[in-house]
Amino acid sequence: MTWEEYEKKLEPFGISTKDKEFLKKVFVFSSKIHEGEKRLSGDDYISHPVAVSLKLAELKMDANTIASGLLHDAVERSPEALKQIRKQFGEEVAFLVDSVTKIAKIQAAGIDRALESVKKMFLALAEDVRVVVVKLADRAHNMETLEWLPKEKQERIARETLSLYASLAERLGMWNIKAQLEDLSMKFLYPKEYEMISSEVKKRAPERERYLKRILSIMEAELRKENIRNFEINYRAKHIYSIWQKLERYEGDWSRLSDLIALRVIVPDVKNCYSVLGIIHKLWRPVPGKFRDYIALPKPNGYQSLHTSVFTEPRVIVEFQIRTPDMHKEAETGIAAHWAYTEAGKPKKGFKAVGKKFNWIGQLQNWQKEFQKEKPTAEELLEALKIDFFKDRIFTLTPKGDVIDLPRGSTPLDFAYHIHSEIGNRASGSRVNGKLVPFTWELNSGDVVEIIMQKNKKPTPEWLAVVRTALAKNRIRKALRLSPKKSFITIEAKLVEARIYGKNRVGFIKDITSVFARSRVNIQNLISARSGNEEAPINLTFVARSKEELEKIIKKLQAVPGVKKVNYSLK
């Protein structure tokens, strides 16, 4: 690629002549370093730094950050490059490039690798948010070209992208990058679901779009009548991954997805936002409980807008988002928007530019200042941060060392279904850190989980009460051929933990287990009293399909000769 070709690609982003001169020097320098080097796709290597820098230009980052995009892989290629970069392009570019290079250097494998990259990203964030923005642009382009990598690598990278990079993009309010990262990861991790949803969207979107165009022209006429000037109305389809997540919540019922496409009204100021809201509610009846004022109460990632859904016809719901141009820009690019327009035309450094909106980054930086010298481990850092970033997630491992991240409270069956439906469906047992455990076992971060499979194994309805994630529930339901309406078991069924006290005589356990066998209820896990301790209770867990069934079983257990007391709790 020549400078002229690159310059042409920079055209849409309105870069000043002075910055262009600077970027030309950087481009020539980087091209020289990567000369002769190829990507796995067969393209010249420089195509990658160029693509990353263009993403940064699109985010309207400052020239130094765009330059860092061009140079982000230079030091890896040629270690002496950093000195030259500092001499030719200044301390700030050298700092950014060095920081990005350091994040990339992770030697560990498996769980340590995952924790290490989380730690490095957080520390970089505290130092200068732009480092992470470059990393996100780098990852976005690597995901776009992921098909060229070997299969095992694809999966690991896609998982890391979904659990770490997309979450970070979300926290930084970078909606566009987040959507890209999620859709690309989903395509590699859940290809069937991706195919299914995108073809369904393709089928449904045109009709929806035609309808929205009609609504749009009604809106336009009304806004003119009400003397609102300089407005812009557009619409945009939701991304595939977010539709999938919604569908999981709605148990696969497409008719409940009212917001495949949302209409956006952009007006010059906040006062007009509320006027537009009034006009919409005058035209159509609002859906109760759907109005959100994110202008008065912004989301933690800084997002601001008014949201409302209205019935444009009986049973037809349309979602509106109302915002100012500034809010719009921030909604698209998040934290990156704060570098776009600066007072003296000079980019502000680090998170100072971010203001009060990204409170958690401020917390992160204060914390880092205080504890820098103590060199905390990744776990200590995550523990101490108390920002709820990964509060509800755990990282678990396959025996091969791939990281599977799951919500807290997940079980081996969640783990199995997250890897593949077939692994879940054929699961007959599970080992955690080499030890056999029941399916009800609660996983922890760092656990190595192995699923034992049997060829003709099938899921049972009880599993629905054991698993925690919507993905696993959905896949079990599918395997059982339960329609969403018939899966009452998810609401009624409860996992029960029982403790049975009594004299542990010969045949005691057999009598207890036969209570379950006669009631056709499977015991999920049984820990019997240690021999020699007659007072220790028998602990067991089972799934009761209804309250009546639970009461019946407890009564029968109490009637077993020798039983003194039965305690139980619902999980």
CB of 102 to Mn ion, least distance (A): 13
Q: How far is the CB of 84 from Mn ion (least distance, A)?
A: 19
What mask of x and - would describe binding to Mn ion in positions 95 to 134, judged by CB under 5 A?
----------------------------------------
Cβ at position 75, least distance to Mn ion in Å? 11
Q: Report how far residue 266's alpha carbon sits from residue 106's, in angstroms, rounded to the nearest whole number.
A: 44
Q: Name the E strands within 304-457.
A: 306-313, 316-323, 393-397, 403-407, 427-432, 435-437, 449-453
Tell me whether residue 145 or residue 519 sits nearer to Mn ion (CB atom).
145
Length of the chain measured in residues: 571
The answer to whether residue 549 forms part of the interface with Mn ion (CB under 5 A) is no
Quote the CA–CA distance of 475 and 416 in Å, as a whole number. 11
Reduce the DSSP state of residue 502 to 3 states and report it: strand
**Closer of 58 and 73 to Mn ion (Cβ):** 73
Cα separation, 186 vs 464, whole angstroms:
24
Contact criterion met (CB below 8 Å) for 444 and 383: no
Examine residue 73 and tell whether it contacts Mn ion (CB under 5 A).
Answer: yes
CA angle 302, 306, 311 (to 5 degrees): 145
* Closest approach of Mn ion to the CB of residue 138, in Å: 4
> In degrees, to the nearest 5, what angle opens at C-alpha 57 toward C-alphas 54 and 58?
90
Residues 157-176 that bind Mn ion (CB under 5 A): none
HEC assignment per residue over 460-472: CCCHHHHCCCHHH
Q: Tell me the residue ranges of DSSP E strands in 58-189.
A: none
Which of 10, 137 has the CB closer to Mn ion? 137
At residue 567, φ and ψ (nearest 5 deg) are -105, 145
Please provide the DSSP assignment of 233-272 as one string: EEEEEPPHHHHHHHHHHTTT-GGG-TTSEEEEEE-SSHHH
Task: Rule CB under 5 A: say whether 138 interacts with Mn ion.
Answer: yes
Whole-angstrom distance, CA of residue 135 vs CA of residue 103: 8
For residue 523, which of 536, 508, 512, 537 has the smallest C-alpha distance?
Answer: 512
**Total residues at interface with Mn ion (CB under 5 A):** 2
Whichever of 70 and 233 has its CB closer to Mn ion, that residue is 70
75 binding Mn ion? (CB under 5 A): no
- Amino acid identity of residue 147, one-letter, is E
Q: Tell me the per-residue interface mask from 15 to 54 with Mn ion, x by CB under 5 A, - otherwise.
A: ----------------------------------------
**Is 146 or 354 the residue whose CB approaches Mn ion more closely?**
146
> Quick one: how many helices (H) and strands (E) in the chain?
25, 15
Residue 9 or residue 468: which is nearer to Mn ion going by CB? 9
Locus of tokens 């200042």: 369
In the complex with Mn ion, which residue's Cβ is closer, 142 or 163? Answer: 142
Nearer Cβ to Mn ion, position 138 or 405? 138
| Stretch in the footprint of Mn ion (CB under 5 A) among 67-75, 118-126, 333-341, 395-403 | 67-75
Per DSSP, 442 falls in state P
- Segment near Mn ion (CB under 5 A), from 117-125, 136-144, 173-181, 528-536? 136-144
**Span of 65-73, 190-198, 308-316, 437-445 interacting with Mn ion by CB under 5 A:** 65-73
Q: Is 62 in the site for Mn ion (CB under 5 A)?
A: no
Q: How far is the CB of 106 from Mn ion (least distance, A)?
A: 14
Least CB distance to Mn ion at residue 151 (A) = 21
Q: With CB under 5 A as the contact rule, which of the stretches 3-11, 73-81, 343-351, 438-446 interacts with Mn ion?
A: 73-81
In the bound state, the residue with its beta carbon closest to Mn ion is: 138
CB nearer to Mn ion: pick between 74 and 276:
74
Q: Given the rule CB under 5 A, which of 71-79, 190-198, 479-487, 503-511 is the region that contacts Mn ion? A: 71-79
| 243 φψ region: left (φ > 0), alpha (ψ -120 to 50), beta (else) | alpha
Cβ at position 48, least distance to Mn ion in Å = 6
CB nearer Mn ion, residue 100 or residue 186: 100
Burial environment of residue 317 by CB neighbours within 10 A (0 to 12, 13 to 18, 19 or more): middle
* Shortest Å, Cβ 136 to Mn ion: 11
Pick the closer one to Mn ion by CB: 169 or 471. Answer: 169
The least distance separating Mn ion from the CB of residue 31, rounded to whole angstroms, comes to 15
Q: Footprint of Mn ion on this chain (CB under 5 A)?
A: 73, 138
